[in-house]
Structure 1
Amino acid sequence: MAQQERAVRTREAILLAAAQVFDEVGYEAAKVSEILTRSGVTKGALYFHFESKEQLARGVLHENARAVPPVPPQQLKLQEAVDRGMVLAYRMGHDPLLRGSVRLALERPVHDTLDRRVPFEAWTRESQALLEEARLAGELQPHVDTAELANLVVGAFAGIQLMSQAMCDRQDLCERAAVLYRVLMASVAMPGVLVQLDVAADRGARVHAIMDDYVRTP
């Protein structure tokens, strides 16, 4: 068991170091030697877990798909959908692994075969599932297509993330995400639901603060 735990910690250290380097310089400019130095593991340990830079990038991308665990249940399913996005915005400012994976997902280098659809597809599926529950609960206006809305939310979030990164290294991402959800919800939520939604800029931080307790609850 101790050996297995060490292997898990080693893999996590490698992925964290890789994500930091990918976030800072991008996939093509990233050097395995720099990742090795930052991870603090031996060369043999790194290549035991990941045979190449491309495998490292795949590992980071797959971590992106699990970046935001389920948020605590809310009376309104639309609030849960908002909370997932707001928690993601909050974590973008604090989680190097998430930042690195997002940069990888949005890059388009010429010479690699990475499947960058993984995190987008995962978040879109999860978003549509929540939105469909909201539709069945009568929280969405009748004209709303949940598949279209899920794709719009994920694409729009990717866009504001890029803009926030360019403008201020993501320091205002929570504020931009709050504006995004406020505008979107005004066009899709039933009026009685809209007035109940919490889309404040600090919503992600508040939900994140209670998520560990929720995830640990049997």
Structure 2
Amino acid sequence: MVRQVRAVRTRRIILEAAGAVFDEFGYESATIAEILARAGVTKGALYFHFGSKEELARGVLSEALTVEGVLPQPLRLQEWVDVGLVLAYRVPREPLLSASIRLSADRRARELFGTSWPGWIDFVAGQLAGARDGGELLPCVDPQITATLFVSAWTGVEIVSSGLGEGGVLERRVAMLYEAFLPGIAVPGVLRQLDTAPDRGARVWRAHCEQQSEEGSGAVPVAFYRV
């Protein structure tokens, strides 16, 4: 059991180091040597978990589809808002998540192992379909089309915002993105109830972390409560 826990921890350390290197240098310029230096592990330990740089990149992408920290809400549209705003809070702070965007936007990397976008589009479409079934969407809204457009827009906002170098800019711009999207898809009564404030993601994430701290575990289902 101790050996298994150590292996899981080592794999995570390697992935986080790889994420930081891919995020900083891009896929082509990233090197195993630099990843080893960042991770502080032996070459044997790295190759035990990942056989190549390509496998490392695939591992980073596999971590991208994460809804950790998003708490279930009475309105499905609020959950959709929370997903985007929590990510807007976390991505600038977590190179592993940021790297998944860089890899997805890298043409060479896309040719080798695809992107995380299809998974995100399907996830968001599922959220919007749930909102439609709950009577939260206007009748004309197609969840799959809306999800595709939104993921495309969110990604573009992140790529542009990351180049501006201003702290907190991504959270503000993603909040603006939701404010632009929601009037065209949400029924008016629901629209008035939604919290799209730029600090919403930080509040939801901190509530999630506090909940996990109280429960004494970093990998348990979060409780159902509203933020």
Identity of aligned pairs, percent?
A: 49
Q: Report the equivalent of 2:199.
A: 202
| Mapped pair 1:153 → 2:150 | yes
Distance 1:20 1:217, change over 3 A: closer
Q: Report the equivalent of 1:166.
A: 163
TM-score by length of 1: 0.93
Distance 1:46 1:169, change over 3 A: farther
Distance in 1 between the 2:109 and 2:35 partners? Answer: 21
| Mapped pair 1:124 → 2:114 | no
The residue correspondences of 1:21-40 to structure 2 (distance < 5 A) are 21-40=21-40
Letter in structure 1 aligned against 2:68:
P
Letter in structure 1 aligned against 2:85:
M
| Mapped pair 1:46 → 2:46 | yes
TM-score by length of 2: 0.90
> Which stretch of the first structure deviates more once superposed, 122-131 or 178-187?
122-131
Q: Report the equivalent of 1:96.
A: 95
**C-alpha RMSD of the superposition:** 1.7
Distance in 1 between the 2:208 and 2:147 partners? Answer: 23
Q: Deviations over 1:84-141 (max 9, x none)?
A: 010011101211211112111111127961222xx21221111111111111111111
Gaps of 5+ in 2: 213-219
Instruction: State the 1:23 CA deviation.
Output: 0.3
User: Which of 119, 137, 147 is the matching residue for 2:134?
Assistant: 137
Q: Report the equivalent of 1:20.
A: 20
Instruction: State the 1:192 CA deviation.
Output: 0.8
Letter in structure 2 aligned against 1:16:
E
Instruction: State the 1:68 CA deviation.
Output: 2.5
Gaps of 5+ in 1: none
Letter in structure 1 aligned against 2:77:
L
Indicate conservation of the 8 Å contact 1:164/1:170, yes or no.
Answer: no
Instruction: State the 1:217 CA deviation.
Output: 4.5
Indicate conservation of the 8 Å contact 1:54/1:112, yes or no.
Answer: no
The residue correspondences of 1:78-93 to structure 2 (distance < 5 A) are 78-93=77-92
Letter in structure 2 aligned against 1:161:
E
The residue correspondences of 1:35-74 to structure 2 (distance < 5 A) are 35-65=35-65, 67-69=66-68, 71-74=70-73
Instruction: State the 1:216 CA deviation.
Output: 4.0
Distance in 1 between the 2:29 and 2:135 partners? Answer: 49
- Count of aligned pairs between the two proteins: 215
Distance 1:143 1:170, change over 3 A: farther
